[in-house]
Amino acid sequence: MTQTFGNPVRAWASTLVASSKGSGPNLLYPPLSEALNLLPLTRPASAWEEDGNALFATLDGKLYPVGLATPKQNKLTSVVTGSSGQGKSVLLNKLGNVMVSSAQQRLPFMAGVDKGFSMQGQVALLRDSLPPERKDEVVGIVLQNSPKHCRNLFDIQLGARFPIAPERNWIISMLTAMCIDPSTGNPPNERDTRQILDRVISMAYTANAEKSPRRWGRGVVPEVDTALDKSGLIERYPAQWWDSSTWYEVRDLLFEAGFVKEAQLAQFEAVPELADMTTFLNHEDVQSAYGRVQRDGSQELLLEYLHRCMTDACREFKMLAGRTQFLISPRTRVIAIDLNNVMGDNTTNAGHLKTGIMFLFAGQVAGGDFVLPQYRDELLEAVPTLYHPMHLDRLEQLDQEVKTKVYDELHNAKQVPFIFPMLETQDREQRKFGIRTVLSSQYVSDFPDAILNSANSLYMMEVDPKDEKLLTDTIKVPKVTLQRFQRLGSGPAADGSGVPFLGVFRIKGGGTLARILKNAMGPLELWALGSSPTDSALRRLLYEAVGGSTARAILAEAFPQGTAEKLIALRQKQAGEADSNNVIRTLANELIKRRGYNI
């Protein structure tokens, strides 16, 4: 039996150039309806044939470009969904790498907020790709609730003595969140609470800037003392002047002398801090205006409640109550903040509230400066002319580039009353600021309708049956496309061809493209960006032993599929161990030994 028909020699000759006049196969004359099915009329077509920067593949292998932050879409909001192990984090990191590779001379501005260390792999990959003098352009921060990781809520732009509008609004939002009653999800006397907090914030900055500024003292910040000695500033003024000098004055002297970092450290000591709020809540002006206001539904005085909330916040949020201990370089352009170690308990209302405060805090630290170009005039008025060149340079960079802000694992904040309203507001306003927003969670239903209705790109690693009606009725995804995608299964393909996902893209003019695509990546990139616990543990051991670049090369050579989970599970089963740590460490040592001297 054979599956070859016809004359094989003629078929072979037909493949040779100029060897035959006619075609080898016999001509067919099918009906037009059947012939049209043979034509490439229904092949997946992309709207970004010329300006697509993210390359994916269709199921039959056709290249399908997708544009990130291009003019062909009205907004720059993307939603990514998928449960654990389906490739969501890898896709998120790939989209980030696309923005990096699309940049010209400088890294793009990117801010990521995550839980679970998945973005730290991208940070390591980028830092390993930069020369030593540029590594501070990429920073990965794993937050810890300790004074050593403190970041003062009241820090402001370098050179200023008062916050500008976006900084002030954020400080009020943070303090208001600290006063929310977990049982109701709202602060008591919401209008009065915001007015009181707004007032005490103004009083605190006025006191530190004008009425009773904090005095400089030797020994408080050794780096500042060293800069003063090195620059000769300490000898320029008599000892009596230094005895009464303020941190703001020291800041200006250091900045003028070219010590920018030390000037920033001096300003950290000059601004108010969270503990100051209790002092100003007891101020006679505040007491006379609000001293008799009672908390809603209680006989407790509102000021006493706010005082208690501020005291509790100082005790609970050690990373927010005090002077800033970690300095982010002005040259930093990519920041990824991991909240894994500071999240609240997801089984209680108080835990949900703590989680929301952490998301609110991390979003400001990572990407709070993205809106500064819209407040250019206010910022320049807030700082002396001495600081204008520095701020103008950064404003120009921020204004000319697309900024990316990523929020991952948002299902952790689903029960927080103020997070999604904040994201909705940002979604409506930040397009005009040139900010590309990427929101990621496990299911489509985790997002409110307002965000889904306005998002221009949707990447789904799987489809939950309860989301079908929303996808077909609201997002206009054809039902046949959903059914075909569900039949494919989820997760990485067994043949290593990539991870299938459903991409839905809204284009200007009202058109919607729904395509089943594959996220295919090489082993080096997979090992850099993967986030499964066992693979991450193996990667971390090798990173510590031989460095990032060599570790990824070792892993890519040994496991070209981008994962060692099956081997680790097999060895763990054979060893009869419940803990995989010993198995992973043994495997790491084997891989290093196999590498030999080529490290």
Sequence-distant (≥ 6) Cβ neighbours of residue 98 within 8 angstroms: 53, 54, 68
For 388, the token pair is 């204008």
Question: Residue with structure tokens 């099918």?
Answer: 30
Cα angle 197, 200, 201; round to 5: 85
Structural domain harbouring 210: 154-322
Cβ–Cβ < 8 Å for 300, 325: no
SS3 content of the chain, % helix, strand, coil (to 5): 50, 10, 35
Domain count, the chain: 2
Instruction: State both tokens at 173.
Output: 């939002």
Alpha-carbon distance of 524 to 418, in angstroms, equals: 39
Q: Is residue 260 part of a domain?
A: yes
Query: What is the chain's Cα-based Rg?
Result: 29
The pLDDT, as a whole number, for residue 575 is: 79
Q: Looking at 322, 356, 386, which one is the last position of a domain?
A: 322
Does position 456 have pLDDT exceeding 70, yes or no?
yes
Q: Is residue 328 part of a domain?
A: no
What pLDDT score does 116 carry?
76
Dist. CA 214–CA 271, nearest whole Å: 8
Which residue has better confidence, 183 or 152? 152
Q: How far apart, in whole angstroms, are the C-alpha atoms of residue 2 and residue 25? A: 18
pLDDT digits (tens, 9 = 90+) for 73-130: 888 889 999 988 788 888 998 999 899 888 767 899 999 999 877 788 889 889 988 9
Among the three residues 322, 346, 375, which one is the final residue of a domain in this structure?
Answer: 322
Distance CA 317, CA 149 (A): 11
Question: Between helices 118-129 and 88-102, what is the axis angle to 10°?
Answer: 30
Residue 251 within any structural domain of the chain: yes
Q: Which pairs from 63-71 meet CB under 8 Å and 24+ separation?
A: 64/515, 64/517, 66/457, 66/503, 66/505, 66/517, 68/95, 68/98, 68/99, 68/102, 68/436, 69/99, 69/402, 69/404, 69/436, 71/508
Identify which has the larger pLDDT, 520 or 38. Answer: 520
Strand order in the sheet with 511-519: 63-66, 54-58, 511-519, 499-507, 457-460, 77-81, 435-441, 403-407, 110-114, 334-338, 138-142
Give mean pLDDT, residues 25-48.
Answer: 78
* pLDDT at residue 5 in the model: 58
Mean pLDDT over 256-275 rounds to 94
Rounded Cα distance between 518 and 498, Å, is 6
Place of tokens 């929303």: 470
Residue 419 lies in a domain: no
Q: 552-599: per-residue pLDDT in tens?
A: 999 999 998 888 888 988 888 887 766 667 889 999 999 999 888 777
**Contacts (Cβ under 8 Å, ≥6 apart) of 57:** 63, 64, 497, 498, 517, 518, 520
Q: Strand, helix or coil at 178?
A: helix
| Structural domain includes residue 271 | yes
What's the whole-number mean pLDDT along residues 482-504? 84
* CA-based nearest residue to 457, from 123, 29, 53, 41: 53
Nearest partner of 548 among 129, 97, 134, judged by Cα: 129
Distance, CA of 3 to CA of 497 (rounded, Å): 28
Helix (H) / strand (E) containing 270: helix 260-270
Give the lowest-confidence range in 178-187, 334-343, 493-502.
493-502
Mean pLDDT for the stretch of residues 279-297: 90
Answer yes or no: is pLDDT of 499 > 50. yes
For residue 160, which phi and psi values (nearest 5 degrees)?
Answer: -90, 160
In whole angstroms, what separates CA 148 from the centre of its chain? Answer: 23
CB atoms within 10 A of CB 189: 20
Average pLDDT, the chain: 88
Tokens of 215: 């005095």
Tell me how far apart the alpha carbons of residues 548 and 544 are, in angstroms, rounded to a whole number. Answer: 8
SS3 state of residue 519: strand
CA dist 59 and 52 (Å) reads 19
The reported pLDDT for the residue numbered 22 is 67
Residue 30 lies in a domain: no
Read off the pLDDT of residues 382-439 as tens digits, 9 standing for 90 and up.
999 999 999 999 999 898 888 999 999 888 888 887 888 888 877 777 777 888 999 9
Q: Which residue has the tokens 């060895």?
A: 571
Q: Which residue has the higher pLDDT, 510 or 220?
A: 220
| pLDDT score at 246 | 94
Q: Please give the pLDDT value at position 24.
A: 63
Residue 166 lies in a domain: yes
The reported pLDDT for the residue numbered 1 is 46
pLDDT of residue 197: 95
Of 322, 351, 366, the one marking the end of a domain is: 322
- 539 within domain boundaries: yes
Six token digits for residue 147: 């004074």
Mean pLDDT of 321-338: 89
SS3 390: helix
